[in-house]
Amino acid sequence: MQTIVTGGAGLIGSNIVRLLNARGEDDILVVDHLRGDPLKRRNLDALRYARYMERDAFRAAVRAGGIEPAKAFFHLGACSSTTETDEAFLDDNNTGYTREMCEWCLAHGTRFVYASSAATYGDGSLGYSDDHAGIPALRPLNLYGWSKQKFDLWALSTGAVDRIAGLKYFNVFGPGEDHKGDMRSVVNKSYAVVRDTGRISLFRSDRPDYADGCQDRDFVYVKDAAAVTVWLADHPGANGIFNCGTGHARTWLDLARALFAAVGREPRVDFVDMPEKLRGRYQYHTEAEMGKLRAAGCDVPFRPLEDAVKDYVDTHLSRL
């Protein structure tokens, strides 16, 4: 039986297809919305899959009963822009789309693994526990986060959460993000500048409890995030909503130093004011609590930040 990967040309999706290929699987239906984007299309060039469908045609085919049964369905397809302001679009493209695919999978006995987001945790004041009891109290800082939160709440309220797996991905970066524009990681956006000028720009802090560059994130390498996602598909007894992070927050300065080391440069950091549109919506700290995923039996390791950045530079960025 086939495997379906929506968002299959995206960052996490393309790495899932690559991982499936590595273990000999190529009966894969890839779904995405390429819009003639050559950088996104390039993510599929080296992958093996049976068929590609555009998102809208795929949704229509699902509704019409025209999609063959699948053994696993990885639903990564969504608008991931944290600055998107069209709530109706996000309600349909993120929340509604996920619900439709989940209902189809439950009706057909297909393992459903979907992307939630650490953006659901908002400003972090309620912590980063993936315990289901705390999810209804979360207040995301942007409409993207709310689009993910709304589906998580639906899954909880209907009981679907006990038959599916969702992942709250923290700050995922790595090969496959070249097409993401402003939503690319700092490593991706800064690599060429660091290589050519030996400098990097980071946001100043506008909070007294954080020094410039000491805002931190749980940075997750996409190859590790993909491995965790595939593990959940392989273990249908592991159900619920799980964090996907390293469990160790690192500062932006740590990230910058890792990038300088990977390109063989001495660190030189410039601090710039945070854009007005991000103020009040910017997460100063994220750190996944990982006990729940580990208790479910997932032993996929997460590589240290320095190792991840070096692998990204050596195997992808330096070859562009």
Catalytic residue positions, numbered:
144, 180
Contact 183, 80 (CB under 8 A): yes
Query: Do the bridges between strand 70-75 and strand 111-117 make them parallel or antiparallel, or are there none, so unpaired?
Result: parallel
